[in-house]
Amino acid sequence: MKEEGKKPISKKSSWRKIYRKKWFYPAVYLTLVAIILSGVIWYQNRAADLPDEANQPLDTGTEDNSMVSNPLYNDREDGAIAVMEQVEQVKMPVKNADETEIVTKFYDYDAPSEEQEQALIFYNNKYYQSMGIDIASQNDQPFDVTASLSGTVTDVREDPFYGKVVEITHDYGVTTKYASLGEVLVETGAKVKQGDVIGTAGRNLYGQANGNGVHVHFELRKDNEPLNPEEYFNKPINDIKPSKQEEETETQEPGESDQKVTNEETESSISMANI
């Protein structure tokens, strides 16, 4: 016979028995605490792995953020992005360097006697030291003269010995001078960029005795001290430094840029060249 009066135990009755256990609520509490602590530890570890906000790319609100990631850009104090200026290199003051040659060198006291002889200018029965270089065309034809560096035209004049002269002032206390110009295409106060045509090569009275023909006389100065341009071609402008030359030279007409060489110095340089 089947036993009567017994009913199957329901699931609700099972849960009620568990609820009544003394260990139930402490176990639930410890489980919740463990879950919360795990979440806190995970969040802290994730935050530590994130890069600093200062190192994050700036959100410009545009799809192209190439300016931000480009190392040539940096943040100004006002938050604007500016291009870091690239320092220019000194260039030959001619448009087509392959079609020209240096016919008169800069007079360097430390140079060999042969080069010193090439840096002497004979005028009015006297020798003068060249404080620049003369660049002539190979076919004795006029050619374009260009700005060796970007800057501001600070002087345009006509000299009775040097011909038409243009002076340009640059950064770092550097100035360049262009003389013996046949035509001048700039005015005082004009801003010029490196490579801009400022005039054409011509002739002047001071270079006739050397037979230079059509040429441009080019000078490079730092703090008004003449330097050898050939030493600084294709070098950054901020590398230009005054020379260590300690000897004083006597300036005398006709050239305010070239200096007189005494007969004794001239004879010495000629004898050293075995001429």
Measured CA to CA, the distance from residue 33 to residue 26 in angstroms comes to 11
d(CA 202, CA 191): 23
First to last CA, the chain: 148
Question: What is the structure's pLDDT at 262?
Answer: 44
Cα–Cα distance, 49 to 178 (Å, whole number): 61
- How high is the pLDDT of residue 126? 87
pLDDT on residue 42: 76
Q: What is the pLDDT of residue 86?
A: 81
According to the model, what pLDDT value does residue 208 have?
73
Each domain of the chain, given as residue ranges in start order, spans 97-237+250-265
How many CB atoms within 10 Å of residue 89? 15
Q: Render each residue's pLDDT in the chain as its tens digit; 275 residues.
A: 445 555 555 556 666 666 666 677 777 778 888 888 888 887 777 766 655 554 555 555 444 444 444 444 444 444 444 444 589 999 999 988 888 999 999 999 988 998 899 899 888 888 889 999 999 988 889 999 999 999 999 999 999 889 999 999 999 999 999 999 999 999 999 999 999 999 999 998 876 766 778 999 999 999 999 999 999 999 999 999 876 554 444 444 444 445 544 444 443 333 323 32
Instruction: Tell me what pLDDT residue 149 has.
Output: 98
Superfamily designation of domain 97-237+250-265: Glucose Permease (Domain IIA) (2.70.70.10)
Nearest 5°: CA angle at 112, between 137 and 207?
35
C-alpha gyration radius of the chain: 40
Sheet order of strands, 126-129 included? 120-123, 126-129, 259-261
Q: Which two tokens stand for residue 233?
A: 């071609």
CA 99 to chain centre: 27
Q: With 0.85 as the threshold, say if the pTM is over it.
A: no
- Other C-beta atoms closer than 10 Å to the C-beta of 127 total 21
Q: How far apart are CA 141 and CA 95, in angstroms?
A: 14
d(CA 209, CA 68): 59
Identify the pLDDT of residue 199.
97
